[in-house]
Amino acid sequence: MSAYPNATATTSTDAASARTGADACCDGPLPVLGRDVTVPLVTGGEVTYAALDYAASAPALQRVWDDVAAYAPYYGSVHRGAGYLSQLSTDLFEQSRVTVHEFLGCRPSDQVIFTRSTTDSLNLLAQVLPAGCQVFVFETEHHASLLPWRDARVTYLNAPRTPEQAVETLERALADRDPHGPALVCVTGASNVTGELWPVRELAAAAHAHGARIVLDAAQLAPHHPVSVTELDVDWVAFSGHKLYAPFGSGVLAGRADWLQDAEPYLAGGGASRKVTRRVSGEGAGGVDVEWHTTAARHEAGSPNVIGVYSIASACRALTEAGFDRLVAREQELVRRVREGLADVPEVRILSLFGDDAPRVGVISFVVDGWNSSHFAAALSAEYGIGVRDGLFCAHPLVRTLLGSAPQEPGECGAPEAAPGERSLNAIRVSFGAGTPDEHVERFVGAVRELVADGAKWQYRTEEGRCVPAV
């Protein structure tokens, strides 16, 4: 409890709670920053920007921005300040930890560590693995969860084509491992390429049955579905604030404390250390002896990003109050509209691992016959004011697997360079969520139909590897 309850009430949740409850009970999108921004079109005029790249970074909720703005005048140093604002900021920071712990349904003994991102969280976990730990990871992972394990013994698992096959593949791999050493499974909750949900609970059961632990990359899951560490029975979960409608570059690693407490700090510095003394005699005289914290502070060296952390907590509260049941139902309606709209265009092929009936979040990737994906994405932006993503989405092995049977794409504007002997491959990704208006989805589907039927209205050229309108 804060030593300054009145100030905390002024700067934190009451700022948002005092507003109308319409944001949490309406059937439309949640208000986000940028919803009224207009952008110019190369064909003339302006249009409201349709942000359909949520899988990269979701727009900040207006609620989050308002909460941060209310707190900003009270900003102060965290943990080591004696002043009024420092004490208030420390309370806000630690209360945010409690909020995230509750949002994730953590076990009482679990730690919540604040990081810079999902990538940072998983690299932290990679640094605290016990000696000899074997890591199992599917090739379908985002690079944030595919690449951090370079110093461990890593077994890369082939892309499964059904959820059941994913569980079977993991079980076979774990059955062949050294049963006496530590092991970790890393798996995504929802694919950043296909949007498909993975069988996390079943994978966790398989891991634990073979004496392994499991970490869940929830970067694409947490913004769209409730995530419970306890119910899913995972050992750790990682996610990023900037995908959860919170800006400012913060992330979370939450879960079991033992491996984290037993390892050297991820970063050495102030805040992580409990006591530092000069060594005056014996071996290493002249150096320093350090006693590290055993709490989350052990891996949070340096001055923390208190505004980023508070924005995550605000987003957690906002999504909880809005009601995930309502948010999921509305998003699934948008998913249905987009998939049905794309299915009506024969030239479009939607990328999928698990098939059309697989449950998924609002992330859909596709290719269009006769178009390079960079060219198509550029035309969506320049001629329709629609922002999507093109490329391999930091999941190169997965996208290459999904595009392996795709026809040769023409080498036109924006075609990425390929290694000798390889074809140029890339795809288009449309992604959306709680802040997406119906009109943005309808405009996107209509734009795809027009571009495929009539072609681009403008000429494009390649500039520094990107397809841009020719001027």
User: pLDDT per residue over 175-194, tens digit each?
Assistant: 999 888 999 999 999 999 99
Q: What's the pLDDT at 282?
A: 77
Stretch among 10-19, 133-142, 223-232 having the lowest mean pLDDT: 10-19
pTM over 0.85: yes
Written as one string, the DSSP assignment of 14-45 is HHHHTS-THHHH-SSPPPBTTTT-EEE-TTSS
* Per-residue pLDDT band at 465 (split at 50, 70, 90): confident
The arithmetic mean of pLDDT across residues 137-164, rounded, is 96
Q: What's the pLDDT at 151?
A: 86
Distance CA 373, CA 380 (A): 11
Check whether 18 has a pLDDT greater than 70.
no
What value does the mean pLDDT of the chain take? 91
The arithmetic mean of pLDDT across residues 136-148, rounded, is 97
User: Which of the residues are catalytic?
Assistant: 394
* Per-residue pLDDT band at 2 (split at 50, 70, 90): very low
Distance CA 166, CA 141 (A): 13
142, two tokens: 């985002």
User: pLDDT per residue over 417-431, tens digit each?
Assistant: 655 555 668 999 999
Q: What's the pLDDT at 22?
A: 37
DSSP letter, residue 355: -
- Among residues 425, 29, 419, 65, the alpha carbon closest in space to that of 245 is found at 65
* Per-residue pLDDT band at 14 (split at 50, 70, 90): very low
* Per-residue pLDDT band at 471 (split at 50, 70, 90): confident
Stretch among 148-162, 255-269, 277-291, 387-401 having the lowest mean pLDDT: 277-291
The helix or strand, by DSSP H or E, that contains position 409, with its residue range, turns out to be none
Stretch among 287-291, 360-364, 434-438 having the lowest mean pLDDT: 287-291
Q: What's the pLDDT at 421?
A: 53
Question: Which residue bears the tokens 């990328």?
Answer: 351
Q: What's the per-residue H, E or C state across 356-395?
A: CCCCECCEEEEEECCCCHHHHHHHHHHHHCEECEEECCCC
The helix or strand, by DSSP H or E, that contains position 154, with its residue range, turns out to be strand 153-157
The helix or strand, by DSSP H or E, that contains position 98, with its residue range, turns out to be helix 84-103
Question: Which residue bears the tokens 């039927």?
Answer: 453
Q: What's the pLDDT at 405?
A: 56
